[in-house]
Amino acid sequence: MRTSAHTDFEELLAILDLRKVDGDGGTETFFGAHPSKNPIRTFGGQMMAQAFVAGSRTVPANLPPSALNFHFIAGGDPAQDLEFTVVRLRDERRFANRRVDVTQNGVLLGTALISYLAGGRGLEHNISAPEVPEPEGLPKIDELLVGYEETVPLFVEASRPIEWRYTNDPAWIMRDKGAKLDHNRVWMTTEGPMPDDPVLHCAAMVYSSDTTILDSIITTHGLSWGHDRIFAVSIDHSVWFHRPVRFDEWVLYSTTSPVASDSTGLGTGHFFNRDGQIVATVVQEGIVKHFPSRK
């Protein structure tokens, strides 16, 4: 089922508004739709964000998320709704744990383990945010795609509910310059105001965490999507939530790749708010294969 919303941002809010069906006490089931613009398989960020919402709708509002660990098993069909089965693993006054299984027609597509924790005040420290230009003076993603419509058509045609402002050249421009880059830093925010619901703000961040996380694997080698023959698919993805976030305000997503080997690579990243505080940490493992052109 597709949404009936109009803009990409409205469609993001619509697909995060899951439909709940009756549960049996130990489990609860939700259904989630797809937007009108989709890749061949369900976008992993969408699947994780919807799973996060499903799990979070079964815990008290005073329990913020602590961590999400998602394992991708099979690709989803964008022509069909996703089914999210939430299993209650633990419920305490300050702790909760949920497992969310994502299926279509009885086929398991992925599994999320989500923990919730109200820890209270304690020790605090924070690595420094990288020094980057402020987002207001940077070009929008549409401007950076001009002239590259045939190089990266999937990016041009993709749904963009999140506004991106690159602080460095994106991969396709970097490649044209013959450069390499061991990091990627992108300011992100939703394309419109969000409801005052912490679950939705975190879900938008989870959705966005699956966008540029693997880029540093290829830019470290001076490669780019579109220019080079690259196959990439996510294996597993983790997000640790450190502080509350408003994702309709600018947040910096700073990512690097510490290692690539055996046709897999690791992407790591932090989301920083405008005060320079880390609001979330992300790690994703993916299969990344490069097929050099034959000369």
Domain spans, the chain: 1-118, 139-295
What's the mean per-residue pLDDT of the chain?
A: 94
* pLDDT surpassing 80 at residue 102: yes
Do the Cβ atoms of 252 and 264 come closer than 8 Å?
A: no
Average pLDDT over residues 3-10: 78
* pLDDT surpassing 70 at residue 132: yes
Give me the residues paired with residue 199 across strands. Answer: none
Q: What is the DSSP string of 96-121?
A: EEEEEEEEETTEEEEEEEEEEE---S
Could you give the 3-state DSSP secondary structure of residue 137? helix
pLDDT class for 26, splitting at 50, 70, 90? confident
How many Å apart are CA 86 and CA 115, to the nearest integer? Answer: 13
Average pLDDT over residues 189-202: 97
Residue 2's pLDDT is what?
Answer: 52
Residue 6's pLDDT is what?
Answer: 79
How do residues 68-89 score in pLDDT, each as one tens digit? 999 999 999 999 999 999 999 9
How many Å apart are CA 83 and CA 30, to the nearest integer? Answer: 6
How do residues 142-194 score in pLDDT, each as one tens digit? 999 999 999 999 899 999 999 999 999 999 999 999 999 999 999 999 999 99
Residue 294's pLDDT is what?
Answer: 60
| 107-117 and 65-72 beta bridge pairing | antiparallel
Query: Backbone dihedral region of 144: left (phi > 0), alpha (psi from -120 to 50 degrees) or beta?
Result: alpha
High-pLDDT (> 90) share of the chain, %? 92
How do residues 237-282 score in pLDDT, each as one tens digit? 999 999 999 999 999 999 999 999 999 999 999 999 999 999 999 9
Closest of 158, 159, 155, 140 to residue 5, by C-alpha: 159
Higher-confidence residue: 11 or 120? Answer: 11
How many Å apart are CA 14 and CA 42, to the nearest integer? Answer: 16
Do the Cβ atoms of 248 and 192 come closer than 8 Å?
A: yes
What homologous superfamily does CATH list for 139-295? Hotdog Thioesterase (3.10.129.10)
CATH architecture of 1-118: Roll (3.10)
Residue 3's pLDDT is what?
Answer: 54
High-pLDDT (> 70) share of the chain, %? 97
How many Å apart are CA 275 and CA 249, to the nearest integer? Answer: 12
Q: What are the distances in angstroms from CA 178 to CA 15, 172, 289?
A: 39, 10, 20
pLDDT class for 22, splitting at 50, 70, 90? confident
Average pLDDT over residues 49-71: 96
Average pLDDT over residues 14-22: 93
